[in-house]
Structures are given as C-alpha cells and as structure tokens.
C-alpha cells in the first residue's frame, strides 16, 4: 500500500487537500487524515506537491513511424523512460504513413510489452490507407475480438500521403468502427490524420451531414496544423465534434503558421468551444516531415511524448488557462472519449495512476503507474527492458 499525505488534489477539478491511499493497483480512498498501520504501508508526506491523474497520450507511434525520406528515415520505437518522464501513464498506439514495414501485429506486441513494463497501453487498428489493414480481417472484428483495440486510425485526409478515400469508403469505415464499438462496449472512434490540403474537414462534414453517424465518431488530429484548419476546427467543435491538438512540433511548422497548442487551447476556449471537446496528443515517435511546395521530402523531426505535458504547462503558465481546465485535455477528456475505464480521474476505485507536480513550476516530480513508483522526487526509477 502507498499513502500520500496532505497532497493538493486535482481530480482533474481542484478538490483541495486530502490523503490518497493506493492498494492493489487502485485508488482505494481519498479522504482527510487517513490512518494506516505504517509497517504495512509506504507513507509519504506529499504536502509540497500537486496530485493529478496520470496523463493519457492518445496518439503515439509506439513502434516508430516515418519513412517519408526512405528507409533510413524510419523513426525509432518508443521507450518507457520517454513516457514516464513526461508524466504519462497511459498511451494509445497507432500506425501512420507506413502500414507495410510497420505492422499491426508489431504494434499489438509493443502495447503488451509496455503493459509488462508497468504502464497501460492500447492501440488503434489500421493506418493511413482506406480500405485499411486489420488484424482479423475487419475493423469490427478487431474491436470485438482484441482487447487492446479501441478504435481505427489514423486514417489520412486532406494530405498528399493519403490514399484519397471516397465518401463511401470513409462512411463505411466509420460505420463499421461504430458498430464494432457498440457491440464491444468500446469507443470505436476513428482517428483522422488531418493534412494541410485545401479540402480540410469537408469530407468529415459530408459524412456527418449525409449519414446517421454522429460527429463524435471522429477524432481529427493535427487540428492546429495551420490557421485555416484551426478555424474550421473551432466551427466543427462548436457543432458537437471533437478536435485534437498535436503538441510535438518543429520550428519550420510554426514558421509556416502552425498554431502552437498552448495558444490554440486559449483561443478555442475564448471562442466558446467547450473544453470537453478538446484533447492534446503528442504524436510521439511519429515523423515530423518537412516537404517543399511540390511535396518533395526535405528533412525530418521526431515527435516526443514529453511534449504532451509541456504543452499543458505552457497553456497554464504562459496563456493563463486554469490548471483544472488545461488538465482535462490530457486526462478526463481522452479517458471519456476513448472509454478508457479507470483512467483520467483521481477517485476511489480508479486505477492508481498519478502524476505529482511542483505547485510553482508544474515540473513533474513523481509518477505512479498502476500503484508503482516510476518517478520519485524527480528521479527516474524504472527503465524499459533494453534501456
């Protein structure tokens, strides 16, 4: 057992000071002045810390990504220390451009490996292409038969790397994912990679307008890619849709007009978008390619999971977004949208995933995943198997 004494709790809403008792990988009690027999419990004075839910990164290329510049540009796979250094305790893996040399079987194995190393991991089935690759022959079967699969994606739209799916193909994919989600009790959401093409969100709007599929069936990511797409995203979210900001970036993207995620959150809130419609993800280990005007590859960066909380921290300290609001985009919102039960909140019965922060700087000082210390007093205690 582990007892955190007198910690300032953000659940993610601010709940005040309390003791938090963890046992058996769960939060068992959050109350004032919990007393336990100390020989059987690690009792920690946490009065100098903030406790927030373990962060959820819903878009990570766990087995690596890239390849837009040839085989030598395939990015490396995720390692555990990159996850926990950033306060993240749950990741959702996906494939991107490459669904050939990066396989779903490998992605599933990587998710199970991360579980064994101490965090929680899930996956999307498919990749950029439509019709998309699956593990069992269909998106619906993957959702029903494979515990780790929570949805489909990332499917590419408005991008020169997309397979340019037709309206019927996209609608059929969304319908299959929805049906599989309903039958399995999972989210069944379709993660949409948004490029910077002129068509923007038009294909998603058409599916929503011409079918019975609701806007919340889609989670378009990279919505802060450029000012035009960002403006579309505001309208889409205010109409009931979901939007996802990407926290990893490179200077070239910002110079070309990408909306910094911290600033974008402030602008969306000011425009009247409900924070419950917004998530942040890192695109960790994904490629951040720079192309010229003719779509020719020039150079490559790599996304980092550690950028996730950095974006939240900057929104709070630099843009004046209240911490309890900013935390939602990486805790309770992705947990609700992706139906990750037990995740994203500090409450009795929830999974024992906590991130401990310095109240002044918001630096990550501690990380507990499934009740186990991963980072303590700012020191990394656990590394991946081959780190």
Catalytic residue IDs: 283
Cα atoms found within 13 Å of the Cα of residue 13, Cβ hemisphere only: 4
Q: Across the chain, where does the E strand assignment appear?
A: 2-10, 14-23, 26-31, 42-45, 50-53, 55-60, 88-93, 120-125, 149-157, 189-194, 218-221, 243-246, 278-281, 287-291, 297-302, 354-357, 364-369, 372-376, 379-380
The pair of structure tokens assigned to 142 is: 């993957």
DSSP state of 35: -
CA atoms of 366 and 384, how far apart (whole Å): 17
Contact in structure between 145 and 136 (CB atoms under 8 Å)? yes
Q: What angle do CA 158, 275, 4 make, to 5 degrees?
A: 120
CA atoms of 81 and 115, how far apart (whole Å): 13
The pair of structure tokens assigned to 37 is: 């027999």
Q: Is the dihedral of CA 196, 197, 203, 205 positive or negative?
A: positive
The pair of structure tokens assigned to 136 is: 């069992």
CA atoms of 334 and 331, how far apart (whole Å): 6
Contact in structure between 177 and 189 (CB atoms under 8 Å)? yes
Tokens 């903030």 correspond to: 50
DSSP state of 241: -
H or E, element range at 177? helix 167-184
Beta strand 372-376 pairing with 278-281: unpaired
């Amino acid at each position: 057992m582990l007892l955190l004494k007198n910690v300032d709790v953000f659940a993610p809403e601010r709940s005040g000071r309390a003791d938090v008792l963890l046992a058996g990988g769960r939060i068992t009690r959050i109350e004032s002045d919990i007393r336990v027999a100390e020989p059987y419990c690690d009792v920690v004075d946490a009065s100098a810390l903030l406790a927030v839910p373990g962060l959820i990164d819903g878009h990570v290329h766990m087995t690596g990504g890239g390849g837009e510049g040839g085989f030598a540009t395939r990015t490396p796979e995720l390692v555990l220390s990159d996850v926990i250094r950033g306060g993240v305790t749950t990741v959702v893996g996906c494939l991107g451009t490459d669904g050939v040399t990066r396989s779903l079987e490998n992605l599933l194995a990587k998710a199970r490996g991360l579980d064994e190393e101490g965090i929680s991991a899930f996956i999307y089935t498919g990749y950029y292409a439509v019709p998309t690759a699956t593990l069992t022959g269909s998106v619906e079967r993957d959702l029903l038969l494979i515990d780790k699969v929570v949805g489909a994606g990332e499917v590419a739209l408005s991008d020169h790397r997309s397979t340019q799916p037709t309206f019927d193909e996209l609608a059929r994919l969304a319908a299959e994912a929805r049906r599989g989600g309903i039958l399995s009790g999972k989210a069944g959401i379709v993660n949409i990679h948004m490029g910077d093409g002129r068509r923007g969100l038009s294909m998603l709007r058409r599916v929503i307008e011409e079918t019975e599929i609701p806007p919340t069936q889609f989670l378009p990511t990279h919505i802060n890619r450029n000012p035009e797409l960002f403006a579309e995203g505001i309208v889409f979210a205010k109409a009931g849709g979901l939007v996802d900001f990407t926290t990893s970036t490179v200077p070239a993207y910002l110079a070309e007009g990408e909306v910094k995620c911290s600033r974008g959150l402030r602008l969306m809130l000011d425009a009247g978008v409900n924070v419950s419609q917004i998530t942040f993800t890192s695109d960790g280990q994904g490629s951040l390619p720079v192309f010229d005007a003719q779509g020719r590859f020039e150079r490559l960066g790599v996304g980092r999971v550690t950028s996730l909380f950095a974006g939240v921290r900057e929104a709070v300290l630099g843009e004046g977004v209240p911490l309890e609001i900013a935390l939602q985009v990486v805790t309770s919102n992705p947990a609700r949208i992706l139906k990750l039960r037990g995740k994203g909140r500090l409450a009795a019965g929830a999974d024992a995933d906590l991130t401990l922060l310095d109240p002044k700087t918001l630096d990550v000082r501690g990380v507990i995943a499934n009740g186990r210390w991963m980072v303590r007093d700012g020191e990394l205690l656990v590394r991946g198997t081959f780190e």
